[in-house]
Structure 1
Amino acid sequence: MRESPVVAVAEGVTALTPGSVVKWAINTFDRDDKKILVAGILVLLAIIFALIGRVARRHWWIAVGGYVVLAAVAFLAVAAKPTPALIDYVPVVVGLLCWVIVLAVLAEGLRRWEVVGGPGPVSAHARRQFLVSVGGAVALAAAAGLVGRVAGSARRRAEASRRLLRIEGVTAPAVPDGVSLPVPGVTPWATPSEPFYLIDTTFIKPTIEPAEWSIRIHGMVDREITLTYRDLVAREITQDWITLNCVSNPVGGDLVGNAWWSGVRLAPLLAEAGLHPDADAVLQTSDDGWTCGTPLAALTDGRNAMLAVAMNGEPLPIEHGFPVRTIVPGLYGYVSATKWVVDMEVTRFDRFTAYWTAKGWGERGPVKIASRIDVPRSGDEVPAGDLVCAGVAWFQHTGISAVQVQVDGGAWQDAELAQVASADTWVQWRRTVRVEEGEHQVRVRAVDRDGTVQTGVVADVLPDGATGWHTIDVTAQA
């Protein structure tokens, strides 16, 4: 349930925003994009309410009409969501009623104040009446806020359930030997849950208790399957280190992380349902209505695609999809990593349009080979002479075989790789290069296990992921 019309409008704006604008917002504001959108809506509403208040002094019906228009905008914003529930409209209706009631109370108080006007006890009485009306309006607003807080108690219950949950077969992560290089400043090989990047479209995270969760697998199958949380975790648990990265990640960006994921493999579940031979996609749906289309082959070709129940040895954080989310190595999250997943329809790509593909993003979303320089940072001043460069490279489901570094357009130099844990994880690298006094440009590229070299052709993240060599500028000083 959305706690306020502002949240409903914010989510509706997100749903209707073109993909290029969403990409700009993510790259510009990072994790603050939703906060900035909500703040902008609040500022706009403050201006509109001030204008409505001035009009209400003379024409109350125009003010009521203004509130109705605002409520209609919020109503349409909720309707723009992929699968709006009836309860999602409740905050809009409650908000409209509060606006109209508060308007009537305050406008009447002001009218009496202006009618009696001038000094004297009558005017003082009118002022007291107006202040009482204001107090009542504040109390009404506080009550509405309390309703929102009560609705928010669902998160506290979900957090309590999560803390008490123990999943048999889920083990704590053990970082493999040799995967980390002793270079200060390089990104840690294992990413803790808290700083792991977050990209989603919801403003109020779904709060689902395990006992209330279930998933339905249906569509082009021989038999429909519905699993409760208890049914799911009773199956064999698979665990693996898997690197995830967002399609919105620019060259050299940080929307990437590597975690220890635990869950139940999807291939046996789909085989149990009995797939029709002409199906080529699975339409996934989140509890909040978000959808994505996943290539069926990526769920059945032997990779460790799973319904994940734990991250880094603990039940999933709510922000990362508790109680269940989807993980598919080798695909960008916008076509695979459904948080709070509750529905999987086996179907065909030519029969649906998912959330991000409707905004112009690519249909199937395979990840692209990428590499990044973490040390030094672009703009750093470094000592002339030997310069240690280090960073990470990744190409999930294919793997990295080499990383190369270039200085000032010269020859490409092979870097030292740390131990490569698997084709589904990133790898750390380092290379010592020689830099003379002055300004220098350093770039990096990776080579996959098939021998294909990362392209230097620069492409934007839209429609299916950025390409190009990460390049930094440093100044060497004697």
Structure 2
Amino acid sequence: MLAAGAGLGLGELTAALAGGTSPVVGVGTQLIDLAPGAAKDFAVKNLGTADKPVLIGVVLLAVTVFALLAGAIGATRPRVAVALTALLGVLAILAAATGRTLAPNHFVRVLPGIITLLVATIGILLVLRILHPGSRTSQPGKPAAKASPESAGAAAGPAEAPAGFDRRRFLGTAMALGVAGAGGLGASLVIPAGVSEATRRGIRIPVPASRARAMPAGVMADVPGVSRFVTPNPSFYRVDTLLTVPKVDPRTWSLRIHGMVDRELELSFADLLDRRLIERDITLTCVSNEVGGPYVGNARWIGVPIAELLREAGVQGDADAIKSTSVDGLTIGTPLKALTDGRDAILAVGMNGEPLPFEHGFPVRMVVPGLYGYVSATKWVVDLEVTKFADFSAYWTDRGWAVEAPIKTSSRIDVPKGFARIKAGPAVAAGVAWAQQRGIAKVEVQVDDGEWQPAKLAAEDSIDTWRQWTFRWNATPGNHTLTVRATDTTGEVQTADRAAPRPNGSSGLHNTVVMVE
């Protein structure tokens, strides 16, 4: 365990210093990419934003157990222990070489794995050499030291260590390995990776040429506990496949637009800021959001219209898709029509009055109203390829999700919470409803099995934002079930048919049980 820990710790330190693929993150990312869809769905549903630290903990626990087993085997079969320990380093190298990475080149991406392999293997050899002093293969031709009669007699009894065992040397080696592992891991956690928070906050986003319209009075339901109309950045949901957040330097970032175009474009971050910026309020929804779930939020975004960039590049006639790629190599496929049909699809550089947070795609991400994020909201985007759906498949569609995924008409009860206790008499329920690109026309609430009753809608900001609602009712003693449904401006009523998020978004009606006293 000490040998493996030393290898892992110094491998993590190498990754922090050189920018290569962390052994833990590399293996964890491979587990994410190789996991079946049901496992991903379970993690998002049951672990939420804790899924990433849990996975890192599982990887570290697996390494610990594996190393302990290798050490136990090494007590009698040292060569097997060496081979098993070296296998840990080999796995780190393979994970880095074949997986998604932020490393600038192939050697740098595998360097931390190489260090892990070398240190762990040397460490186990040192320990085994102390535990098996009579079989030092590093000194061929030298006969094994003969044990004295006293030591032989001791060995015949319940000895604490093999003959010739040097306790002081063992403790020194163990301490050195422990310090290497703990020190390397600790140092890797404090060494800043990428640009700093001060650099991000120091960026000045120009005033947009087209400002978002002022929010009308009354967009916020006046009920304690209902979601804020504008979701604060720290509270905005984050669902992605990266175990560590990229901190991309905007000075070296660039975006390539190529493929089925007349002219390739390559833009720097400064180029984007010099272009016409627009500001819009847009609600985003994750396809992993269960009925009534938390993975939806509303923000004010600033960015460059994607349609203008595509016009400048000159999209060729038979193209029907944009393949966007993140800095780590993840790909997303977006219908070309969703980027050119007049909706406010943007390359966002700002969120709620500041540069994009690292967690939400700094320095640049895609924001496309009306589509679930897995087909539209590429974070840390570095490449846009104009192509055809027939010519590629993206990360999520390879894993069983639909190619196109317009957002479904949905609603949620925020207040009261499930199994809340309330007083009999006048009561209020409140929540949000959304149908981006269509807008919400009506929200209704049902008490138990009664008739559907209209809720009061808050003012509408735009068809691309969620809409808040309130419902006042007379609560009688006992347990009651409140159910909500929404109707969009096309007249489509939210379906009661239950469907899981896979393959194109959940459906069904959200309800909550309250206890009236």
For the aligned pair, the TM-score class normalised by the smaller chain equals over 0.9
Looking at structure 1, the residues matched to 86 and 171 of structure 2 have their Cα atoms a distance apart, in angstroms, of 26
Q: Percent identity?
A: 45
Of the candidates 318, 323, 332, which is equivalent to residue 363 of structure 2?
Answer: 323
| Distance apart, 1:475 and its partner CA | 1.8
Looking at structure 2, the residues matched to 125 and 16 of structure 1 have their Cα atoms a distance apart, in angstroms, of 45
Looking at structure 2, the residues matched to 473 and 42 of structure 1 have their Cα atoms a distance apart, in angstroms, of 40
> Deviation digits for residues 362-396 of structure 1, max 9, x if unmatched?
11121111100111111112222322111000111
Q: Secondary structure at the match of 2:89?
A: helix
Partner residue in 1 for 2:257: 217
Partner residue in 2 for 1:40: 58
> Conserved in 2, the CA contact under 8 Å of 1:241 and 1:424?
yes
> Conserved in 1, the CA contact under 8 Å of 2:20 and 2:102?
no
Q: Do residues 111 (structure 1) and 128 (structure 2) align?
A: no
Partner residue in 2 for 1:168: 206
Partner residue in 2 for 1:15: 33
Partner residue in 1 for 2:43: 25
Gap regions ≥5 residues in structure 1: none
| Distance apart, 1:471 and its partner CA | 0.9
AA matched with 1:154: A
Q: Do residues 249 (structure 1) and 270 (structure 2) align?
A: no
Looking at structure 2, the residues matched to 275 and 81 of structure 1 have their Cα atoms a distance apart, in angstroms, of 31
Q: Secondary structure at the match of 2:408?
A: coil
> Conserved in 1, the CA contact under 8 Å of 2:409 and 2:434?
yes
> Conserved in 2, the CA contact under 8 Å of 1:281 and 1:294?
yes
| Distance apart, 1:274 and its partner CA | 0.5
Looking at structure 2, the residues matched to 432 and 2 of structure 1 have their Cα atoms a distance apart, in angstroms, of 57
Of the candidates 324, 330, 336, which is equivalent to residue 284 of structure 1?
Answer: 324
Q: Do residues 367 (structure 1) and 411 (structure 2) align?
A: no
| Distance apart, 1:252 and its partner CA | 0.4
Partner residue in 1 for 2:9: none
| Distance apart, 1:177 and its partner CA | 2.3
Looking at structure 1, the residues matched to 301 and 352 of structure 2 have their Cα atoms a distance apart, in angstroms, of 6
**After the TM superposition, which residues 318-357 of structure 1 pair with which residues of structure 2 at under 5 Å, given as runs?**
318-357=358-397
Tell me: CA distance 1:143–1:173, structure 2 relative to 1, closer, same or farther (3 Å).
Answer: farther
Partner residue in 2 for 1:460: 500
> Deviation digits for residues 294-351 of structure 1, max 9, x if unmatched?
1111111111111101111101111111111110011111111111100010111111
> Conserved in 2, the CA contact under 8 Å of 1:19 and 1:361?
no
Q: Do residues 392 (structure 1) and 413 (structure 2) align?
A: no
Of the candidates 192, 196, 199, which is equivalent to residue 153 of structure 1?
Answer: 192
Of the candidates 170, 175, 188, which is equivalent to residue 135 of structure 1?
Answer: 175
Q: Do residues 189 (structure 1) and 219 (structure 2) align?
A: no
AA matched with 2:196: A
Moved more, 360-369 or 133-142: 133-142
Q: Do residues 56 (structure 1) and 47 (structure 2) align?
A: no
Partner residue in 2 for 1:73: 91
AA matched with 1:350: A
TM-score by length of 1: 0.94
Q: Do residues 102 (structure 1) and 132 (structure 2) align?
A: no
AA matched with 1:104: L
Tell me: CA distance 1:220–1:469, structure 2 relative to 1, closer, same or farther (3 Å).
Answer: same
Tell me: CA distance 1:112–1:174, structure 2 relative to 1, closer, same or farther (3 Å).
Answer: farther
Q: Secondary structure at the match of 1:211?
A: coil
Partner residue in 1 for 2:141: none
| Distance apart, 1:169 and its partner CA | 1.5
> Conserved in 1, the CA contact under 8 Å of 2:448 and 2:480?
yes
Moved more, 390-399 or 71-80: 71-80
Gap regions ≥5 residues in structure 2: 1-18, 136-144
Looking at structure 2, the residues matched to 50 and 190 of structure 1 have their Cα atoms a distance apart, in angstroms, of 50
Q: Secondary structure at the match of 2:177?
A: helix
Looking at structure 1, the residues matched to 172 and 516 of structure 2 have their Cα atoms a distance apart, in angstroms, of 69
Q: Do residues 259 (structure 1) and 277 (structure 2) align?
A: no
Looking at structure 1, the residues matched to 216 and 237 of structure 2 have their Cα atoms a distance apart, in angstroms, of 22
Q: Do residues 226 (structure 1) and 266 (structure 2) align?
A: yes
Number of matched residues? Answer: 474
> Conserved in 1, the CA contact under 8 Å of 2:368 and 2:377?
yes
AA matched with 2:515: T
Looking at structure 1, the residues matched to 85 and 503 of structure 2 have their Cα atoms a distance apart, in angstroms, of 39
> Conserved in 2, the CA contact under 8 Å of 1:368 and 1:467?
yes
AA matched with 1:108: R
Q: Do residues 88 (structure 1) and 123 (structure 2) align?
A: no
Greater Rg, structure 1 or structure 2? 2
Partner residue in 1 for 2:311: 271
Looking at structure 2, the residues matched to 113 and 376 of structure 1 have their Cα atoms a distance apart, in angstroms, of 73
> Conserved in 1, the CA contact under 8 Å of 2:456 and 2:470?
yes
Q: Do residues 435 (structure 1) and 475 (structure 2) align?
A: yes
Looking at structure 2, the residues matched to 2 and 393 of structure 1 have their Cα atoms a distance apart, in angstroms, of 43
Looking at structure 2, the residues matched to 174 and 40 of structure 1 have their Cα atoms a distance apart, in angstroms, of 48
Q: Secondary structure at the match of 1:463?
A: coil
> Deviation digits for residues 42-66 of structure 1, max 9, x if unmatched?
1121111011112223333212221
Looking at structure 2, the residues matched to 82 and 305 of structure 1 have their Cα atoms a distance apart, in angstroms, of 27
Of the candidates 490, 493, 501, which is equivalent to residue 450 of structure 1?
Answer: 490
Looking at structure 2, the residues matched to 143 and 431 of structure 1 have their Cα atoms a distance apart, in angstroms, of 57
Q: Secondary structure at the match of 2:270?
A: helix
> Deviation digits for residues 164-217 of structure 1, max 9, x if unmatched?
111211589975422111101111111000011001111122121111100000
AA matched with 1:399: G
